[in-house]
Amino acid sequence: MGLLETIRAGRKRRPRRALVYGVQGVGKSSFAASSARPVFIQTEDGLDTIACDPLPLAKSTKDVLDAIAALYGEEHDYRTVVVDTLDWLERMIWDDVCAEFGVKYLEKADGGYGKGYTYALPRWRMFLDGLDALREHRGMAVILLAHARAEKFQTPENTAHDRFAPRLHKLASALVQEWADEVFFATYSSISDPARVKTDAVPERVMRTSEGPTHVAKNRLGMPAELPLEWAAYDYYVQQAYPATSSSSKGAEPNG
pLDDT of residue 230: 95
pLDDT above 90 (res 195)? no
d(CA 143, CA 190) in angstroms, rounded, equals 25
Q: Which helix (H) or strand (E) holds 120?
A: none
> For residues 109 and 116, is the Cβ–Cβ distance under 8 A?
yes
Query: What is the identity of the amino acid at 68?
Result: I
Q: Which amino acid is at 176?
A: V
What mean pLDDT do residues 45-70 have?
Answer: 95
Spatial CB neighbours of 100, under 8 Å, sequence gap ≥ 6: 109
Nearest C-alpha neighbor of 222 from the set 175, 170, 182, 163: 182
- Across residues 50-68, what is the average pLDDT? 97
Q: Which residues contact 119 (CB under 8 A, 6 or more apart)?
A: 97, 109, 110
d(CA 228, CA 63): 33
- Total length of the chain: 256
**Mean pLDDT over each residue of the chain, to the nearest integer:** 88
Mean pLDDT for the stretch of residues 166-190:
95
Q: Which residues contact 129 (CB under 8 A, 6 or more apart)?
A: none
pLDDT at 9 (0 to 100): 60
Q: What number is the average pLDDT over the span 76-81?
A: 98
- Read off the pLDDT of residues 135-177 as tens digits, 9 standing for 90 and up: 999 999 999 999 999 988 776 677 777 899 999 999 999 999 9
Distance CA 247, CA 250 (A): 8
Q: Domain segments of the chain: what residues?
A: 13-245
**Residue 246: per-residue pLDDT:** 42
Could you tell me which residues come within 8 angstroms of residue 158 by beta carbon, excluding any fewer than 6 positions away? none
Task: Give me the phi and psi of 4, to 5 degrees please.
Answer: -65, -25
E-strand stretches of the chain? 17-22, 38-42, 80-84, 141-153, 161-166, 182-188, 205-208, 226-228
- Please determine, for residue 189, whether its predicted confidence score (pLDDT) is greater than 70: yes
Helix, strand, coil share of the chain (percent; to 5) = 35, 20, 45
Rg (CA), the chain: 19
The mean-pLDDT minimum among 48-57, 114-123, 195-204 falls in 195-204
Mean pLDDT of 1-7: 69
Q: Which CATH number fits domain 13-245: 1.10.287, 1.20.120, 3.40.1350, 3.40.50?
A: 3.40.50
Span 55-74, average pLDDT: 98
- Which pLDDT band holds residue 10 (cuts at 50, 70, 90)? low
Confidence at residue 249, expressed as pLDDT on a 0 to 100 scale: 39
